[in-house]
Structure 1
Amino acid sequence: MVRITTWNVNGIRNPFGYKPWSNNRTFNAMFDILEADIVIMQELKIQRKDLTDDMVLIQGWDCYFSLPKHKKGYSGVGIFTRQSVCAPIRAEEGVLGALCPPNSTTPYRELPESASIGGYLTPEQIAGLPPDLDAESLDLEGRCLILEFPAFVLFGVYSPANSNGLRDGFRIGFLIALETRIRNLTKMRKNVILTGDLNVSRDVIDTARAEEHIRTEGMTHDEYLSIPNRRIFNQLLLNGKVPGQRDEGREEPVLYDLCREFHPDREGMYTHWEQKINARPSNFGSRIDFILCSIVIKDWFQDANIQEGLMGSDHCPVYAVLKDKVRVQRTPGTESVEEEVHVLDLMNPADMFKDGVRQRDYDPAKDVPALSGKLLSEFTKRRNIRDMFSKKPAPPMPTPKPTPTEAQPDVTKAQTASTASTAEEQMDRDLALAIEASKADMLANTENNPTSSQSPLKSAEKRRASASASPGKPIKRGKPGALAVSTKGNKGQQSLKGFFQTHSKSADPITPNDAAPSVSSLATTDTAGQTTTDKPPPPPTSTTTESFDSDPRASQEASREGWTKLFSKKAAPRCEHGEPCITLTTKKPGVNCGRQFWVCPRPIGPSGHKEVGTQWRCGTFIWCSDWKGS
C-alpha cells in the first residue's frame, strides 16, 4: 500500500507545539505517526534561507519545495517522499511552468518533451485568464509543486484564500490555470492526483456556515453553487453540482473526490476550523482540503478519510491509500490490454521494482530530480548531524597496525588486530572529540572568567591556561560568605535591589543588628555556583528622604504597593457561565478597527452564533476601554 497525506500545517514547525508531535519533534517521527509515504504540506511560511538540516536532510526521505520568491513568511508548499516506496521521475514548481529549473535559464514549459511534465497552457489559454491578472505572478508565490511518477502526476497546491474580495482576480485566475493544466494533462493520457488546500468548498454539506451565508445574502441554492470559484471547481469533479449549462471547455468532469465518494452522506466532515472563534471543539468548520484523482484511476484507492483528531494546525490531515495491486491499460500493439500491476512498479523508475520486489537500490545521484531540496547548494553532499553521530558503524577494513582505541567492545583481540575504522569513522570520532574539548573549554572559561578590568592579552592567556589544565582537576570556588564582605565584589555590577536601596545619612557606626538586613539582601553564592537574590523593590515613590532614613522597610513596602497597583492587570470580567472572559481585537474595517473587547472564553457553538443557557459561547461582550475592573 502507498499512503498519500496532505496537510496545511500553518507554519512548518507549528505542529511541534502539539501532541503527539511534541514528543519527538522530528519530521521523521511525524511521518511515521501519519503512516504516510507521500506527505504534501501547505502554508510552510518560510523562505529558502529558513530551510534547516532537519527539514531537508531527513533520513530515508526526499523533499521538494516551492517557496515564495518575494513575500516573506507567506505561503509555501513542500512534498516529502519515502525513498523505500516511491521515487519521482520529474519535479517542477508553478502551475504555468514559467519558472526555471535549478541552475538553468530555460523555463520548464520550454524544455524538451522528454525533460518536462507537459500540459502547459497555450498562449490562447493564458489569454483567457482574467484581464487584470499578471499571469507570470501565479508561479511566484510558492503555491504549486508538481511531481511526476510513472503512475500519475501529483499536484501539491495551496490555492489563494478569499481575502474579502481584495484578490478575487488572482484567486479565480489561479484556479482557472490549475484546472486548464489538469485538463491538458488528461488529454495527454496522464493520470492526475490533485492534493492540498484548495480554499473552496463544493456544496452546503461541506461548510457549516453555508446555510447562514445563503440566508444573509438572500440567495438561492443554485446561486450559491454558481459562485465563480465553486462553479469552476464543481465542473472539474465527477458528481459535482453545476446549475444550468456547463461552460465551454468544461463539458466533462475529469477528477474524483475520494473523501466524499468514500463517505457520500457524511455531515460535519470538515478539515478547517477558524481559530479566532475557537470553532474546532464544536466542529463548526469547512471542507477545503482535498485529495482528488483522475476518474480512470478511482478504483486504485481502497480508503480515504480525514484525521480530525490530529492537532497542530487550523487544518487537519487528509489521506488516501492506494491498493497493493492495481489494474492498468497496456497498449503493446494496436489493442488495449488491461493487466494487474503492483503499485510499487508504478511509483518508481522502470528498473527499480518488478512485481513489488526491489531490483536495485535507490541511487541519490541518479534517482533524484534537480528540484530536490537535498540538491540545493547549501545541502548537497551533506548529512544531518543527527545521522553523523547515530549511524551504524561501517564494516571493518583490514589493517596491519590496529590500535586498541579502534576496537569495539564486543570484538575479540584477534579481530581487533585485523580490523580498523574507516577514514570516515575516524573523522566522526575526531569531530566528537573536538566537540567535547570545546565544551570543556567553554566550561573552564565560564568558571574562570576574568573581570572587565583585565586586558585582552591577559584574558587570552588565562583562557589558554584553563584549556590546557587537567580536566580532572577540581575548580576552586569562593566561600559563600565571601561576596558579602569582599571589597573586590563591590567593583562588579550592583544588584538591582542595591541600586534602589536608600542609605542613611547618619555617620554613626552600624551595629550588627542594623547591618543584618543589608547583608542578607546581597547576592550570595551557594555551593553549586548559582546566584540567588531577594525580590528587588520597585522604584521609590514621592516618600520624603526623612521617611527613608527613619523607617526604610515601611517606605519600601509602600513603594511596592504603589507600583503593584499601577502595573497590575485589571481583573477580567466574568461571562454568563461565571468564567473569566478573554480579549479579542476587532479586525473589521471601520471606526472600531483595532479595539479590544472581552467575550466568553468558551468555543462557538454548532450554530455559529452566541447562545444563551448552553455549554457554548454566551453573549457576553464588553469593550476593554469600558471595563473598569472589579
Structure 2
Amino acid sequence: MRILTWNINGIRTIPQYHPWNTLKKQEAILDHLDADIICFQALLAVEMKTSRQNLSKDIATPESYTAFFSFPAKKTGYSGVATYTRIIPQKAEEGLTGLLDIKPPLAHEERISPIASYPCHSPVEAEGDGDGELDLKDLDSEGRALVLDFGMFVLINVYCPNDGTDAEDRIKYKMDFHRLLSERVKRLVELEKREVIVVGDLNACASLIDHCEGEIVLKKLKLKGAGDAAVAEETFWAEKEGRHWLREWLIEGGGSMVDVVRRQWPDRKGMFTCWNTKISARASNYGTRIDYILITPGLLPWVKAADIQPHVKGSDHCPVMLDLYDQLPGTEEPCQFQRMLGTNAVEVPRLSSKYWDEFSGKQRSIDTFFGQNAPTRKFASDTQPASPISLSPSPTPSSQLSSQASSSKSIGKLQLSQPVPVKRKQSQLQVSSSCKKAKLDPEGQTKLSSFFSKPKEPAKPMTVQDDDDDMEDEDYRLAVKLSLSVDAKTTSSSSSKSRSAWKALLAPIQPPHCLVHNEPAKELTVTKPGTNKGKNFFICSRPVGPGYDKGRVERDREDVDPRYKCNFFKWSSEVKREALRKET
C-alpha cells in the first residue's frame, strides 16, 4: 500500500501542467499518482485558491476515492489540506484540538480519541515564560490538519505555518502550532497506545544535509568556532525555532518520531522537496527538504520503501511517498486496513465530502436551473389551445390614413393556422419619401444616394494659365516645380528622422550581457508590493546554485561558485536609455 503527500499550488491548478493537462478528470489525476492514500497541502500565499463553494463534484467526490477537506475558517484561500483515499477510514476528524466539529456534532463513537485525550480538555502550556496556555481555537482556524483513523494507524495530514517571515505574531503562531501537533501525537501514542503517521509540509529543515547551502553553512559555523560537524549541526538547529522543534521531535534528537525517508537514504545528498521556481532553482536542484513522512517506531517493520519523487512536476514541491507491506515479511498476518478493504464493512465517516448537501442531493445548485433539464415555468396561456392568429393593420391617426390607404388595402386581413413570422414590405410611397428625406439631410451626414452614385473622377492637376493669352508661364512653372521639390526633400528628410526615432523608441530592448559570464541577461518584473512594483529589470540568466553570488553583503567572495548566477543587475529603463543614446 502506498501513501503519498504533496504540497501543491492548488487542487484546481494541477491540470495546467503536463502531464496533468492531458487528463480530463480529477480521478484520472489521482490514478496517475498511483497511491492508495493521497494527501495534499496548499502553498503559502497562493494556497488552494478555492473553498467548498468553488469545488466541482469531479474534484470533491471522485468515484473511486473517499475525499476529506479542511478549509480555513478565516483568511479564505490562505491554507488548506485534502486527503483522497481508496481505503475507507474508520473515523475522520478535522483539526488537532477536538474543537472543530460538523453538524450534527460527532457522537462519542465517531471520534478518534476519548474526550479526555484531546488538547482542548487538558490545556497545553505555551513555551516561554509567561506565555500562558495555547489559543487552541485560533490554531485550528486555518484549515491545517486532517486526522484519519485506519485502525492499524492514525494518519495526520498537516500543513505547518511558514517560517519565512519575521513578523513576531506569525513566528509565535508557527511555534504554537508545532507544539499543538507534537502534543496531539504524544497523547495518541502514550495515552491510547496508537501508531501514528504524520505527513505533509512541516516548513522546517531537519538537518544541514537537507539544505542547499548546507556545506557553506557548515564552513561558516566552523570558522565561527563551532568546532566539529556535530557542534555545527547543533548550531544550525538552534538558528531557527522550527528546526529545533523538528529535531527534538525526531528519535535522533530524543523524540518519538522516525524520519522514514532519511532512514531509507541516510547519506543521500540533494534529496530536496522544495525549490524557488521564480529563480529557476529546480533546474540546479537548489532547494530544501521540508516535506516529510514521520512514523512511530512500531510501524518500521511494515516499511517497504520511502522516497521523494522529484520527476513529478506541477508545483514548486515534489511528492513524497511511503510503501507499506501488505503483510509482514515471513508472516501471514495481513494489515488491518487490508482486512477492512476486503470486507468493505466500514461506513464512510460523516466528514467526507460525499455527505455535503450540494453533492448528496439535498441541495440544488444554481446551474440546474439553466441546464438541459432545467424546470420550465408554465403560464396560463400555455394551457390554452392554439387558435388562428388574425393580423390586421393597427389603428392609425386620421392624418396618416390617406398616406397608408393603399398599403392597408393591399395588406387586408390575414388568417394563419399557426404562428409564423410575417415580413411587412415597405410601400412605394414610403420608399420615395425616405429617399427624399435622405437627400435633404444636413451636410456631414451620409446620404442614401451616396451609396448608389458613381465614384467621382480624380481631380486633374492644377495648371497655371496666363491671364492675357492663356499661355503657361515657363518661368513660373519652373519656380513652382523647384519649390515643390525642396519641400518634398525637406519633408522626406524630416519623416525619415521621425521614423528612425520612433523605431528606436519602440524597438524591443536588447538584453545586456552579465559582467561575469558575458552572456545575455534575462528580463524579469518586480512583483513585490512597493514603489518598484511593475518595473522590469535584468539579471544573470544562469540558474542559482550552491554558492551563487548573492552580493558582497550576503556572500563571501571565497564562497562564490562562478558556475551559477552572478550578481548582475540593471533596470530595463536604464538599458533603454543607453540604447537611445547610441542611436542618436
By the TM > 0.5 criterion, same fold?
yes
Contact 1:147 1:154 survives alignment (8 Å): yes
1:48 is matched with: 52
Aligned match of 2:462: none
Deviations 1:345-393 (A, max 9, x none): x116x6x45xxxx34x56xxx611011011111111499x9xxxxxxxx
3-state DSSP of counterpart to 2:198: strand
Residue 574 of structure 2 corresponds to 626
Q: Which moved more, 1:24-33 or 1:53-62?
A: 24-33
User: Contact 2:99–2:120 at 8 Å: present in 1 too?
Assistant: no
Shift of 1:72: 2.1
Report the CA distance shift for 1:507/1:189 in structure 2 as closer, same or farther (over 3 A). Answer: closer
* C-alpha distance in 2 between matches for 1:592 and 1:277: 18
Residue 585 of structure 1, CA deviation: 1.8
Asked if 1 retains the 8 angstrom alpha-carbon contact of 2:546 and 2:561, the reply is no
- 1:284 maps to 286
Residue 180 (structure 2) pairs with residue 184 (structure 1): no
CA contact (8 A) 2:526 2:532 kept: no
Look up the match of 1:369.
349
What do the CA deviations read for 1:559-604 (whole angstroms, capped 9, x no partner)? x979986994741423335435221427498x86775421123321
Contact 1:572 1:580 in 2 (8 A): no
Paired amino acid for 2:62: I
* 1:238 counterpart residue number: 251
- Give yes or no for contact 2:519–2:541 (8 Å, CA) kept in 1: no
- Tell me by how many angstroms 1:314 deviates: 0.3
1:173 pairs with 2:165? no
2: CA distance, partners of 1:180 / 1:213:
31
List aligned pairs for 1:238-257, cutoff 5 A.
Answer: 238-240=251-253, 252-257=254-259
Structure number, greater radius of gyration: 2
Indicate conservation of the 8 Å contact 1:88/1:368, yes or no. Answer: yes
Matching residue's letter, 2:549: H
1:128 correspondence with 2:126: yes
Sort the Cα spacing of 1:129 and 1:513 in 2 relative to 1 into closer, same or farther, 3 A.
farther
Partner in structure 2 of residue 101 of structure 1: 102
Give the Cα–Cα distance (whole angstroms) in 2 for the partners of residues 69 and 181 of structure 1.
21
Taking the aligned partners of 1:113 and 1:269, their CA distance within structure 2 comes to 42
- 1:121 Cα deviation (Å)? 1.7
TM-score (norm 2): 0.66
Q: What displacement does 1:14 show?
A: 2.5
How many matched pairs? 436
Aligned in 2, Cα 1:183/1:507: closer, same or farther, shift over 3 Å? closer
Paired residues of 1:159 and 1:199 also in contact (CA < 8 A) = yes
Partner AA of 1:579 in structure 2: P
1:117 and 2:119 matched: no
Say whether 1:571 aligns with 2:563. Answer: no
- 1:406 alignment counterpart: none
**Correspondence 1:238-317 to 2 at 5 A:** 238-240=251-253, 252-317=254-319
Instruction: Work out whether residues 604 and 610 of structure 1, in 8 Å CA contact, stay in contact via their aligned partners in 2.
Output: no
| CA pair 215-162 structure 1, distance change in 2 beyond 3 A | farther
Which range is displaced more, 123-132 or 218-227? Answer: 123-132
What's the secondary structure of 2:321's corresponding residue?
strand
Aligned to 1:39, what secondary structure does the other structure show?
Answer: strand
Matched, 1:87 2:100: no
The aligned residue for residue 138 of structure 1 is: 139
Q: 1:603, 1:617 within 8 Å by CA — same for their partners in 2?
A: yes
Q: Which residue of 1 aligns with 2:334?
A: 342
Give the CA deviation at 1:22. Answer: 1.2
Partner of 1:499: none
In structure 2, what is the Cα distance between the partners aligned to 1:320 and 1:434? Answer: 46
Give the superposition deviation at 1:129.
5.0
Using the size of structure 1 for normalisation, the TM-score is 0.61
Equivalent in the alignment of 2:455: 511
**Maintained 8 Å contact 2:309/2:319:** yes
What is the Cα deviation at residue 151 of structure 1? 0.8
Rounded to whole Å, the distance in 2 between the matches of 1:16 and 1:300 is 34
Once structures 1 and 2 are overlaid, which stretch shifts more, 305-314 or 44-53? 44-53
- The offset of 1:177, in angstroms, is 0.6
Greater displacement, 620-629 / 288-297: 620-629
How far apart are residue 613 of structure 1 and its match? 9.9
Q: Which residue of 2 aligns with 1:151?
A: 152
Instruction: Say whether the 8 Å CA contact 2:97–2:120 is kept in structure 1.
Output: no
Mapped to 2, the partners of 1:509 and 1:205 lie a distance apart of: 87
Moved more, 88-97 or 227-236: 227-236
Aligned alpha-carbon RMSD (Å): 4.0
Q: CA deviation at 1:339?
A: 6.9
Name the CA distance, whole Å, in 1 between partners of 2:207 and 2:125. Answer: 30
Deviation at 1:65, TM superposition (A): 0.2
Q: Is the 8 A contact 2:144 2:159 kept in 1?
A: yes
- Write the distance in 2 (CA, Å) between the matches of 1:61 and 1:586: 39
1:605 pairs with 2:550: no
Instruction: Decide whether the 8 Å contact of 1:93 with 1:145 is kept in 2.
Output: yes
Distance 2:538 2:455 in 1: 56
The secondary structure found in structure 2 opposite 1:196 is: strand
Q: Distance in 2 between matches of 1:140 and 1:592?
A: 34
In the other structure, the counterpart of 1:193 is 197
- Residue in structure 1 matched with residue 237 of structure 2 by the alignment: 225
Distance (whole Å) between structure 2 residues aligned to residue 223 and residue 52 of structure 1: 48
Closer, same or farther: CA 208–311 of 1 in aligned 2, 3 Å:
same
Q: 1 CA distance for matches of 2:89 and 2:55?
A: 22
1:378 and 2:358 equivalent?
A: yes
Counting only pairs closer than 5 Å after superposition, residues 221-620 of structure 1 correspond to structure 2 as: 221=232, 222-226=234-238, 227-240=240-253, 252-326=254-328, 340-343=332-335, 346-347=336-337, 352=340, 358-359=342-343, 361=344, 367-381=347-361, 511=455, 568=506, 570-576=508-514, 577-579=518-520, 581-585=522-526, 587=528, 596-609=536-549, 616-620=564-568
Conserved? CA contact 2:213–2:546, under 8 Å: no
Uncovered stretches (5+) of structure 1, i.e. residues with no partner: 241-251, 328-337, 386-430, 436-463, 469-486, 488-501, 515-553
1:74 paired with 2:109, answer no
* 1:102–1:371 CA contact under 8 A, matched in 2: no
Corresponding residue SS for 2:75 = coil
Residue 246 of structure 2: SS of its match in structure 1?
A: helix
Contact 2:538 2:571 survives alignment (8 Å): yes
**Alpha-carbon offset, residue 619 of structure 1:** 3.4
Tell me if the contact between 2:92 and 2:111 (Cα under 8 Å) persists in the aligned partners: no
Greater shift after overlay, 143-152 or 211-220? 211-220
Distance 1:592 1:367, change over 3 A: same
